[in-house]
């Protein structure tokens, strides 16, 4: 049977120390319940002695049933000059209904003398007395040896004595903390191996990412005998963050062959990572290993061709194992395989028409050279492909448009006029609209005009709405004359899609992306 590795999540405590990160009590509860569904073994919810929010979190969690996880409270050794049972923070900890208490203590002489301002023996007494108090009150205690690696390098005997005192007092886990994130993996591995060989209870690892080594240090610690890994989802944390459990969990299970969470729960990892990011109001990192949107995205033509023949050529695992998926990106680097893959996804078979594929590739590279960015505009690429193949009849055929922006005393008013091509009887469909900006005015005018020309589109058009609007200047050195790229994200309440427009005129670029957005939305609904 594979060795069992405990996953200890501290997103709700250590992760919340990330600059600008804050969640409500209800949001903390949501995250905790999602972590439990993922299958982590311990959830550290906060430091009850530090703020009312954490106290309320544990109160709310007391009435909830956790399937896989145990709640852990966080605290520190009692204050100098105060007996453990009289320490106000420890009293608060003991009021909380949680089976595990994680206590942080000093292992580095520098901190003992410069931060706590206590003698070396007094620090050891504080560690022992605190842990004994909690164990006598029925709590399982994990000892987090803060700055352990720095302390070990400074004075290994004292650092190991601190661990020994914690173990003798009843701690069931000795967690070695790389609090400054300064330790490199090889050095961490040697130290963990020595501690594991001497300790009488299991050892854990708690690494920070200041040297970009937190994941590597954690995995090296596991390889050298640690059975518990502490970290945060998506690596959230102070300064450069903590060890990223979204990378550690699949590495432990898929790469190292150890047991941590079930296969079924592992397949929920990407969804859980993104869910927690959204609840914390942080955009998911697209380039994050394993769970990022681009983790299994292929752009280079040779890479795409190889990956489509056998995904193992450029994918280190099957993305489905962590709930992710392969993505083929369309860009100026695209090759024949990319275009064929996209065509197949659209239900088109053009593999046998080499001349057409070559023509599409040439046109695609020219468009990308001009500034189009199709890997972020999937809908515009589909429309591009349909137009190149002569398979698309446009709904919107513009004759002309005009936009007027007028500054009045208390407001800026934008007015748009749109004229579409007529149907041959000499009359041109025209509409006017005001909006809170020129693009909004164009959008409103177009939505007025289309139902007049195509009455059947009223219901379909009402479902399409703009979600996001992004502008990028492509050649900044030209100043106000630079080429502008506009990317729009749209939705019909079911699906989301991206469109792109490029021009030296930002209004024209916006119009192009807007038209593609509406055209694609109508096209999708007609295909359903």
| Three state DSSP letters for 83-146 | CHHHCHHHHHHHHCCCCEEEEEEECCHHHHHHHHCCCHHHHHHHHHHHHHHHHHCCCEEEEEEE
Cite the beta strand spans of 359-493 per DSSP E: 398-407, 412-420, 430-435, 465-473, 484-491
113 and 10 in a common domain? yes
Range of lowest pLDDT (23-37, 177-191, 300-314, 361-375)? 300-314
CA dist 372 and 375 (Å) reads 9
Q: Is the pLDDT of residue 332 over 70?
A: no
156 belongs to a structural domain = yes
- Do 332 and 192 have their domain in common? no
Contacts 24+ apart (CB under 8 A), 473-478: 474/371, 474/502
Spatial separation of the C-alpha atoms in residues 473 and 126, rounded to whole Å: 59
The domain in which residue 305 lies consists of 297-373
Residue 306 confidence (pLDDT): 65
Helix (H) / strand (E) containing 219? helix 214-223
- Write the pLDDT tens digit of every residue in 153-201: 999 999 999 999 999 999 999 999 999 999 999 999 999 999 999 999 9
> What pLDDT is attached to residue 361?
81
pLDDT at 302: 62
Whether the full predicted model's pTM is greater than 0.75, yes or no, is no
Residues 310 and 164 occupy one common structural domain = no
- d(CA 268, CA 246) in angstroms, rounded, equals 11
Q: What is the CATH number of the domain that holds 243?
A: 3.20.20.70
361 and 409 part of one domain: no
Classify residue 436: in a domain, yes or no. Answer: yes
Q: What's the CA gap between 173 and 201, in Å, rounded? A: 6
Looking at residue 403, its pLDDT comes to 94
Are 324 and 404 members of one domain? no
Q: Please, which pLDDT band fits residue 145 given cuts at 50, 70 and 90?
A: very high
**Averaged pLDDT score across all residues of the chain:** 89
For the segment 117-144, what is each residue's pLDDT rounded down to a tens digit?
A: 899 999 999 999 999 999 999 999 999 9
How far is the first Cα of the chain from the last one, in angstroms, to the nearest whole number? 49
Whether 473 maps to a domain, the answer reads no
251 belongs to a structural domain: yes
147's tokens:
């700055």
Considering only residues 392 and 203, tell me which one the structure prediction assigns the higher pLDDT: 203
- The answer on 408 and 324 residing in a single domain is no
Least Cα distance to 438 among 516, 521, 509, 520 occurs for 509
Domain assignment of residue 178, yes or no:
yes
Looking at residue 409, what is its pLDDT? 78
Instruction: Specify which residues 80 forms β-bridges with.
Output: none
63, 130: one domain: yes
Domain boundary among 426, 453, 480: 453
Same domain as 307, residue 183:
no
| Domain assignment of residue 281, yes or no | no
pLDDT of 247: 98
User: Would 183 be classed as within a structural domain?
Assistant: yes
Of 205-209, 268-272, 495-499, the poorest mean pLDDT is in 495-499
Q: Are residues 136 and 77 in the same domain?
A: yes
Q: Using pLDDT thresholds of 50, 70 and 90, give the confidence band for residue 303.
A: low
Residue 449 vs residue 478, higher pLDDT: 449
Q: Evaluate whether residue 494 is within a structural domain.
A: no
Can you give the pLDDT at residue 345? 76
What confidence tens digit (pLDDT) does each residue in 512-525 have? 999 999 999 888 87
Q: Specify whether 78 is located in the same domain as 157.
A: yes
- One DSSP character per residue, 271-328 reads HHHHHHHHHTT----TT-TTTSTTTTEE-SHHHHHHHHH-GGGT-SS-GGGGT---EE
Closest among 77, 6, 494 to 231, alpha carbons compared: 6
Q: Are residues 330 and 185 in the same domain?
A: no
Total domains present in the chain? 3
Average pLDDT over residues 462-468: 85
Give the per-residue pLDDT at 286: 86
Q: Are residues 347 and 443 in the same domain?
A: no
Quote the CA–CA distance of 11 and 45 in Å, as a whole number.
8
- Give the residue-averaged pLDDT of 468-477: 77
């Amino acid at each position: 049977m594979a060795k069992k590795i405990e996953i200890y999540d501290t997103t709700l405590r250590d992760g919340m120390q990330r600059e600008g990160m804050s969640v409500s009590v209800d949001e903390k509860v949501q995250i905790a319940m999602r972590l439990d569904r993922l299958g982590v073994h311990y959830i550290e919810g906060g430091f009850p002695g530090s703020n009312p929010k954490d106290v309320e979190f544990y109160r709310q969690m007391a009435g909830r049933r956790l399937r896989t996880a145990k709640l852990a409270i966080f605290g520190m050794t009692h204050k100098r000059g105060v007996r453990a049972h009289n320490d106000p923070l420890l009293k608060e900890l003991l009021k909380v209904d949680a089976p595990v208490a994680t206590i942080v203590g000093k292992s580095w002489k520098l901190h003992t003398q410069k931060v706590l301002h206590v003698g070396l023996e007094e620090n050891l007494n504080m560690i022992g007395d605190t842990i004994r108090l909690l164990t006598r009150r029925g709590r399982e205690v994990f000892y987090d040896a803060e700055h352990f690696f720095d302390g070990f390098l400074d004075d290994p005997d004292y650092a190991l004595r601190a661990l020994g005192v914690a173990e003798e007092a009843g701690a069931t886990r000795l967690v070695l903390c790389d609090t400054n994130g300064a330790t490199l993996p090889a050095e961490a591995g040697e130290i963990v191996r020595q501690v594991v060989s001497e300790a009488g209870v299991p050892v854990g690892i708690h690494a920070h990412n200041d040297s970009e080594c937190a994941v590597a240090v954690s995995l090296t610690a596991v390889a050298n005998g640690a059975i518990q890994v502490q970290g945060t989802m998506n690596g959230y944390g102070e300064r450069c963050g903590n060890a990223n459990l979204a990378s550690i969990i699949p590495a432990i299970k898929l790469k190292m062959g150890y047991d941590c969470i079930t296969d079924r729960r592992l397949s929920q990892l990407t969804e859980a990572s993104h869910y927690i990011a959204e609840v914390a109001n942080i955009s998911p990192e697209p380039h994050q290993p394993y769970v990022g949107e681009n983790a299994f995205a292929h752009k280079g033509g040779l890479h795409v061709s190889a990956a489509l023949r056998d995904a193992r050529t450029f994918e280190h695992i099957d993305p489905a194992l962590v709930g992710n998926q392969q993505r083929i990106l369309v860009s100026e680097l695209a090759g024949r395989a990319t275009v064929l893959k996209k065509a197949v996804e659209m239900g088109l078979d053009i593999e046998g028409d080499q001349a057409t594929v070559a023509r599409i590739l040439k046109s695609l590279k020219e468009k990308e050279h001009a500034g189009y960015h199709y890997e972020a505009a999937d809908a515009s690429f589909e429309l591009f492909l349909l137009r190149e193949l002569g398979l698309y009849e446009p709904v919107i055929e513009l004759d002309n448009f005009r936009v007027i922006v007028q500054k009045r005393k208390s407001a800026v008013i934008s007015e748009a006029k749109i004229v579409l091509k007529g149907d041959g009887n000499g009359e041109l469909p025209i509409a006017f609209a005001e909006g809170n900006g020129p693009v909004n005015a164009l959008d409103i005018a177009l939505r007025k005009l289309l139902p007049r020309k195509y009455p059947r589109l009223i219901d379909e058009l009402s479902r399409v709405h703009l979600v996001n609007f992004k502008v990028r200047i492509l050649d900044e050195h030209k100043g106000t004359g630079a080429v502008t790229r506009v990317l729009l994200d749209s939705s019909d309440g079911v699906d989301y899609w991206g469109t792109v427009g490029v021009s030296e005129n930002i209004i024209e670029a916006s119009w192009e992306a807007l038209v593609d957005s509406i055209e694609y939305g109508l096209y999708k609904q007609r295909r359903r």
